[in-house]
Chains A and B, each alone.
Chain A
Amino acid sequence: MYALRDKYAIAGIGWTDYTKRSGRTVRSLASEACLAAIDDAGLKVSDIDGFVSFNFNDSVPAIAVATEIGVPAARYANDFLSGGNAANMIVLTAAAVIEAGLAETVLCYRAMNGRSGFRLGGGRELAAHGITQFTAPFGWITYPQAMAMWCRRHMIEYGTTAEQLGEIAVTFRANAVANPRAMQRDPITMDDYMASRMIVEPFRMLDICLETDGACAVLVTSTARARDLRRKPVLIAGGAYGGGPDQGEDLFDALRWPDHSHNYAKYIADDLWRSAGMGPADIDVAQIYDCFTYSILMQLEGLGFCREGEGGSFVQGGRIARDGELPLNTHGGLLSEGYIHGLNHVVEAVQQLRGEAGPRQVPGVETCLTTAGAMTCGSAMVLSN
């Protein structure tokens, strides 16, 4: 269990424009986001001595960023071969690295040309090696196709409906309208959602997140040190990373997963809440990993915001809107802000906790949940101010 409650903090955040075609190298995007986070914290490049990132071979190694921005001595640099499941884990890792004395000031970043370069929503090569020999030959190839299988299972088990998924898409879009960083800022209605093109049943186009060129970064250091810096520190109160049994051989593979109507969240919930000394009722705002509308439901259920199977009714009736009981994805999420693979959820959490989210600010935020991951493995944090 994460045993460093409130000892480490996020002292700076940075991001680039989120676009469909950056016209830039991924390294350049990563460096811009990292420089912005350093500046936000009121630090100098020479203060940075650690990096943690994650990639699917579509990012740049930490040492490349350290080299471009001229870090004199990168004492720790780690690139996890991971997907969205790692977007909170890298922040927890930064705290662990500092606790171990391996570094003092660690940048966590994610950078990608996710639309104009390597597309996560795209196909794979025709030679199906390893575990994919039991999936790809049947035309089961993309992440939307993978997650649609989970969503259907939830519908079978619990009667979850398209209107309930649509509520998530419409709500997050409304949040993006108030977010200058967001890629999709035109409001949508439930009718728009229902009329959007079927991609892979049960998913329509509007159930599926964006593909984005961009980068963001968060800077982690000790809370004691962060108190002397430019910004009000955002404390890492608790966190957890992991999943259940039979996670399979890669992020796609869930052939042996017990039941696709629940995901990693149920397996990390106890560690998460115990590490933070809090529970779902203590959370003011949540930024929940939304590569697809549906992934919201199983995380709400798994983390105990509602009972298993009740996620669909939980998200209805305005409960997750900005003025609702549990505002979710106040930036618009991966569905409408952009897909920086979940690290952009942490950036938004920091802004909400600092009270600097402008027209999308939820009043009086003291705690914010962030999560990362949708399938067999994931990570989550409780942040506070």
Chain B
Amino acid sequence: MSYGKPLPVVDPETRPFWEACREGRLMLQRCARCGHTRFPPTSFCPKCRSGEHEWVESRGRGRVFSWIVVRHPVPREVYAMEVPYVVALIELDEGVRMASNIVGIAPESVTAGMPVRVVFRRATPEITLPLFEPEPS
């Protein structure tokens, strides 16, 4: 069955991120000059304007900063079978925030500050999405 949900259109800035996801690694940009870690990917460091950066692997661990539970599917034909689902802003230990889904837990059990860890789900041969699940206690 073909994948029917929105897919990233990889661009020159984001290619290393998505290629690493496909290999099961969550990578972040770190400024080669001042060491500032940033996400989403950009060409210039917002702290020191350097155009030089390196990709460093995230521990893939963080906490739920905020979250929503989608109950009404939009577009309906895409998400009718997916609701309810959780979208969260996750604050990674490296200090950046990322949007993703929280899986492996009932939506009503998600709490603020809940520790989570990355889990990779293949969408297509090209794209693997970094999702998050509760950190085992």
Residue positions of A touching B, CB distance < 8 A: 121-142, 145, 148-150, 152-153, 156, 197-202, 246, 255-256, 260
Contact = CB atoms under 8 A, between A and B. Distances in A.
A156 B74 contact: no
B65 interface: yes
B6, B39, B75 interface centre (most CB from chain A within 10 Å): B6
B74 A149 contact: no
Contact of A133 (B4, B14, B98): B14
B82 A139 contact: yes
A133 B10 contact: yes
B71 A199 contact: yes
Contact of A137 (B7, B40, B74): B7
B6 A126 contact: yes
A153 B72 CA distance: 20
B79 interface: yes
B67 interface: yes
B9 interface: yes
Contact of B71 (A126, A131, A201): A201
Contacts of A125: 6
Contacts of B69: 198, 200-201
Minimum-distance CB pairs A-B, first 6: A133-B8, A201-B69, A136-B6, A123-B75, A153-B66, A148-B68
Interface residues of B, number: 39
B101 interface: yes
B93 to A, nearest CB: 17
Contacts of A137: 5-8, 123, 127, 129
Nearest to A198: B71
B87 A255 contact: no
B39, B87, B123 interface centre (most CB from chain A within 10 Å): B87
19 contacts: A123-B74, A123-B75, A127-B9, A128-B6, A128-B8, A130-B9, A130-B11, A134-B99, A136-B6, A138-B101, A138-B129, A142-B74, A149-B87, A152-B66, A152-B67, A153-B65, A200-B71, A202-B68, A246-B46
Contacts of A142: 74
Contact of B68 (A134, A136, A201): A201
B6 A141 contact: yes
Given A139-B79, A198-B69, 17 more contacts: A125-B6, A126-B4, A127-B6, A131-B40, A133-B14, A134-B98, A138-B101, A139-B101, A140-B99, A141-B6, A198-B72, A199-B71, A200-B70, A200-B72, A246-B46, A255-B89, A255-B98
A128 B8 CA distance: 5
Interface in B1-25: 4-11, 14
B130 to A, nearest CB: 9
Contacts of B67: 149, 152
B120 to A, nearest CB: 13
A342 B112 CA distance: 32
Given A138-B87, A139-B101, A255-B40, A260 B6 contact: no
B100 interface: yes
A130 B70 CA distance: 23
Given A128-B9, A133-B10, A140 B87 contact: yes
Contacts of B85: 139
Contacts of A197: 71-72
B34 interface: no
A335 to B, nearest CB: 17
Contacts of B123: 137
Nearest to A125: B6
B97 interface: yes
A331 B46 CA distance: 42
B7 A126 contact: yes
Interface string B48-70: 00000000000000000111111
B71, B72, B100, B123 interface centre (most CB from chain A within 10 Å): B72
Contact of A199 (B8, B9, B72, B87): B72
Interface string B71-97: 110110011001001010100000001
Contacts of B87: 138-140, 145, 149
A125 B39 CA distance: 23
Contacts of A130: 9, 11
B6 A255 contact: no
A200 B46 CA distance: 33
B112 A139 contact: no
A129, A197, A255 interface centre (most CB from chain B within 10 Å): A255
Contacts of B11: 129-130, 133
B20 to A, nearest CB: 14
Contacts of B101: 138-139
